[in-house]
Amino acid sequence: MNPDPWLPRPYRVIGRIAETGDSATLTLAPDGDRLPEFRPGQFAMLYAHGVGEVPISVSAIPGDGTLVHTIRAVGAVSRALHDAEPGTVLGVRGPFGTAWRLDGDGDLLLVAGGIGLAPLRPVLRYALKRRSSRRVILIAGARTPADLLYRKELRGLSDPDGPEIVLTVDRGDDGWTGHVGFVTEPLATHPIDPLQTTALLCGPEPMMRFSARTLLRRGVPAERIEVSLERNMQCGTGLCGHCQFGPLLVCRDGPVAGYPVAEPLFQVKEL
């Protein structure tokens, strides 16, 4: 039986990892009936008691009934969630929204900016678990090295049989030996087979827009590009209308959308 989409289910924080100065990953376990399993790209509405509710994408899918969310503290609600210690009970509704394309043919290219790496992390894990001959490429950027998510995990994937990982930052520091610049710079030069590449983009809207244009110039068909849209989602069910983006209700028709759908909307600044 599907859960009531309006009724938050109690989930208890059983683990918390500080990722960066303003981001933390929470592992939540159900206090009672658990929600249906989420798919990569989908989101939950997380409720901090007495503070409020916000949409947060899943950043891992363990498959054991727990939920994993990486949360950046940017407002009162996200700060309360970010600061939740083990033992804290939160309210959870979901799963909501559309999911990433996982089983397409050819190579898989993930392009992430900042906290946008969190919704793509389940895709990376899914692809690596299957260990097919498919190339997996991750190009991820952040403001500084200290703002890069999952650095220890990504370092552990750096082997000849692992994914191709390119990390870039806007501003380096004394210990940084990687790329400095926007994600579009390595994206423009990293070897790909354009007609055999599926690209998934997640991050700030300008980053996704310019990354998609870079891919189009390199010959990647628009139909093989997906983006994750972000808007003010309050109900999660498509009823309140707060997340309207042109003809779309992002909580229902997104957040994952094909670039042919998103591209004309990206051109209208008022949206």
Task: Enumerate domains of the chain plus CATH numbers.
Answer: 9-96 (2.40.30.10), 107-228 (3.40.50.80), 229-257+267-271 (no CATH)
Q: In angstroms, rounded to a whole number, what is the distance separating the alpha carbons of residues 24 and 33?
A: 25
pLDDT at 82: 98
CA atoms within 13 A on the CB side of 233: 28
Residue 182 confidence (pLDDT) above 70: yes
How far is C-alpha 264 from the chain's CA centre?
22
Torsion of CA 253, 259, 260, 265, to 10 degrees: 70
Half-sphere exposure (CA, 13 Å, Cβ side) for 227? 26
Buried b (16+ CB within 10 A) or exposed e, 211-234: bbebbbeeebeeebbbbbbbbebb
pTM of the full predicted structure? 0.94
What pLDDT, on the 0 to 100 scale, is given for residue 270? Answer: 62
Question: Residue 91 burial by CB count (10 A; 0-12/13-18/19+): exposed, middle or buried?
Answer: middle
- Which among 104, 111, 154 is positioned nearest to 134, based on CA atoms? 104
**Dist CA 115 CA 204 (whole Å):** 9
Per-residue pLDDT of 214-251, as tens digits, reads 999 999 999 999 999 988 888 998 899 999 989 999 99
pLDDT at 2: 60
Q: Which two tokens stand for residue 183?
A: 């994600």
Please give the Cα distance from 70 to 149 (Å, whole number): 9
Residue pLDDT, tens place only, 125-177: 999 888 666 899 999 999 999 999 999 999 888 777 789 999 999 999 988 98
**Residue among 92, 96, 100, 35 nearest 237 (CA):** 96
